[in-house]
Structure 1
Amino acid sequence: MIARRRFLAHTAVAGSAAALGYASGRRGLDEEVASARFHGDDALGQGQAAGVWHRYKFIGQPVMDAQVVFWLGLSSMGLTDVGEVLDTATRIRPGDERSWFEQWLATAKRVRAYGEEAEARGHTRSAASHFLRAGAYYRAGLMRYADRADPRLVEATIAGLDLHGRALRMRGYDSRQVDIRYESGVLYGRVYYAPGAARAPAIVLQQGLHAWPEDTMWVIDGALQRGYHVLSFHGPGQGASLRLHGHPFRPDWEVPVGRVLDFAERDERLDTGNIVLMGLSFGGYLAPRAASRERRLRALVANPGVLSWRDAMMRHFAAIPGLLELHRRGPAAFDRAIDAASLALPDARWYFDDVTWKHGVSAPHQVIDELGKYDNSDGVADIRCETLIMEGCAEDASPGESERLYAALTCPKHMMVFDASTASQVHCQGGNQLLAQARLFDWLDERVTR
Structure 2
Amino acid sequence: MTKFHFPVGYHKFHPTKIIDFQLNRWYSLGYARFEDMVEAGKRINSLEDWKGEMIRQAEKALEEGRTMNGAFHYRAAEFFVSPSDPDKLTLYEKFIELFYHRVFAEDKIERVLVPYEKGYLPAMRVPSNIEETKDTIVIHGGFDSFIEEFYSMACYFADLGYEVILFEGPGQGGALKKYGLPLTHEWEKPAKAVLDHFDLKSVTWIGISMGGWLCFRAAAFEPRIKRVIASSIAFDYMQIPPEPVAKLAKLFFRFPKMMNYMAEVKAKASDQNKWGIYNLMHITKKDNPFDASMAMIQLNEENLHSELVKQDVLILTGAKDHFIPLKMHHKQVKALNNAKSITERIFTKEDQGHNHCQVGNFGLALDVISKWVQEKLLFS
TM-score clears 0.5: yes
Which residue is 1:22 aligned to? Answer: none
The answer to whether residue 261 in structure 2 is matched with residue 336 in structure 1 is yes
Q: Say if 1:291 and 1:383, in contact at 8 Å, map to a contact too.
A: yes
SS in 2 for 1:160: helix
Mapping of 1:19-418 within 5 angstroms?
54=10, 56=12, 58-74=13-29, 77=30, 79-96=31-48, 99-115=49-65, 130-148=66-84, 150-167=85-102, 169-170=104-105, 172-197=106-131, 199-265=133-199, 272-312=200-240, 315=241, 319=245, 324-328=250-254, 330-377=255-302, 379-399=305-325, 400-409=327-336, 410-411=338-339, 412-418=341-347
Offset of 1:309 from its aligned partner? 3.1
Structure 2's unaligned 5+ residue stretches are: 1-8
Query: 1:118 maps to which residue?
Result: none
CA distance in 2, matches of 1:346, 1:226: 42
TM-score (normalised: structure 2) = 0.89
* SS in structure 1 at match of 2:313: strand
One-letter identity of the residue aligned with 1:146: S
Residues 273 and 199 from structure 1, CA distance in 2 versus in 1: closer, same or farther, beyond 3 angstroms? farther
Q: Which amino acid in structure 1 is aligned with residue 224 of structure 2?
A: R
Counterpart secondary structure, 2:81: coil
What is the CA deviation profile of residues 330-359 of structure 1, one whole-angstrom value per residue up to 9, with x for unaligned ones?
222222222222332221111100001111
Residue by residue, what CA displacement relative to the aligned partner does 1:302-329 show, whole Å, maximum 9, x if unpaired? 11233223433xx26953895543442x
Aligned residue identity for 2:28: G
2:112 maps to amino acid: V
Distance 1:158 1:65, change over 3 A: same
Structure 1: gaps (5+ residues): 1-52, 116-129, 266-271
SS of the residue corresponding to residue 389 of structure 1 reads strand
CA drift at 1:217:
3.7
Q: Are the counterparts in 1 of residues 320 and 354 from structure 2 also a CA contact under 8 Å?
A: yes
C-alpha distance in structure 2 between counterparts of 1:240 and 1:85, whole Å: 27
What is the letter of the counterpart of residue 295 of structure 2?
E
**How far apart in 2 are the matches of 1:321 and 1:287?**
27
Deviation, structure 1 residue 113: 3.4
**d(CA) in 2 for partners of 1:87, 1:207:** 28
Cα distance 1:169–1:95, how it changes in 2: closer, same or farther (>3 A)? closer
Aligned residues: 367
- Give deviations 1:229-276, integer Å, cap 9, x for gaps: 1100111111222122221101111111111111221xxxxxx34411
Pair 153,368 (structure 1): closer, same or farther in 2 beyond 3 Å: closer
Change (3 A) 1:248 1:157: same
With over 3 angstroms needed to count, the CA separation of the structure-2 counterparts of 1:320 and 1:404, relative to structure 1, is closer
Q: Compute the TM-score of the two structures, normalised by the length of structure 1.
A: 0.76
Map Cα deviations across residues 273-313 of structure 1 (whole Å, 9 max, x no partner): 4411100110000010111011111210011233223433x
Residues 341-385 of structure 1 deviation map (CA, whole Å, 9 limit, x = unaligned)? 233222111110000111121111223322231124462111122
Distance 2:238 2:249 in 1: 16
State how far apart, in whole Å, the 1-side matches of 2:181 and 2:55 are.
Answer: 25
Give distance in 2, aligned partners of 1:355 and 1:334.
Answer: 15
Cα deviation, residue 109, structure 1: 2.6
Residue identity matched to 2:218: A
Deviation (angstroms), 1:139: 1.1
| Two-structure CA RMSD over aligned residues (Å) | 2.3
Amino acid paired to 2:323? A
- What percent of counterpart residues are identical? 20
